[in-house]
Amino acid sequence: MMRLGSKVIIVGDKFEQNLPVGDHGFVIAYDRNADNAFDYVVRIPALNKHVFVPKEDIELEEALLQKEAERIEREALIDFALATRNESLFKKLMNGGAEEQSQETSKDSISSSDFVKQVNLRAWI
């Protein structure tokens, strides 16, 4: 449950209320009525009004900023791995951190030219 006064970003418009998706607002009240589909009352300064919204339509600003920072960090690491031709870092990033042992990597060592040939072959297929 979001705290009163929390800064939120509108991420959806489930009930087509013409909400400004991407704008920010502030949680000003909870809707405690069990028969109602809405969970929060949000003040949207851009519209200068209060709206009832379900919890699926809003997300905490801090959570969105954290997700964006993680995405940018991952993309930067992928770019670094490609620029430095660090195959192990690239595989680790692309596999989600789990190191997968396949037939090609279990061999003693594969030269970089053989690796490029295998990648090109798989890309062609």
| DSSP sequence for 1-64 | -PPTT-EEEE---TT-----TT-EEEEEEE---TT-S--EEEEETTTTEEEEE-GGGEEEHHHH
Q: In 6-16, which positions are buried (b, 16+ CB within 10 angstroms) versus exposed (e)?
A: bebbbeeeeee
Mean pLDDT score across all residues of the chain = 85
Burial 91-104 (b: 16+ CB within 10 A, else e): ebbeeeeeeeeeee
Whether residue 27 is predicted with pLDDT greater than 70 in this model: the reply is yes
Query: What pLDDT does 124 receive?
Result: 63
User: Binning pLDDT at 50, 70 and 90, where does residue 8 land?
Assistant: very high
* 3-class secondary structure per residue, 55-83: HHHEEEHHHHHHHHHHHHHHHHHHHHHHH
Residue 104, pLDDT score: 45
Tell me what the mean pLDDT of segment 83-110 comes to: 71
Q: What is the 3-state secondary structure (H, E, C) of 85-102?
A: CCHHHHHHHHCCCCCCCC
The end-to-end CA distance of the chain, in Å, is: 49
What is the structure's pLDDT at 32? 84
**Residue 13 scores a pLDDT above 80:** yes
Which pLDDT score, from 0 to 100, does residue 50 have? 93
Compute the CA torsion angle 81, 82, 88, 93 (nearest 10 deg).
70
**Structural domains in the chain, sorted by start:** 7-62 (2.30.30.40), 69-124 (no CATH)
The reported pTM is 0.62
Per residue in 37-94, pLDDT (tens digit) is 899 999 999 999 999 999 999 999 999 999 999 999 999 999 998 888 888 888 888 8
Q: Are 20 and 47 in contact (CB under 8 A)?
A: yes
Average pLDDT over residues 92-116: 66
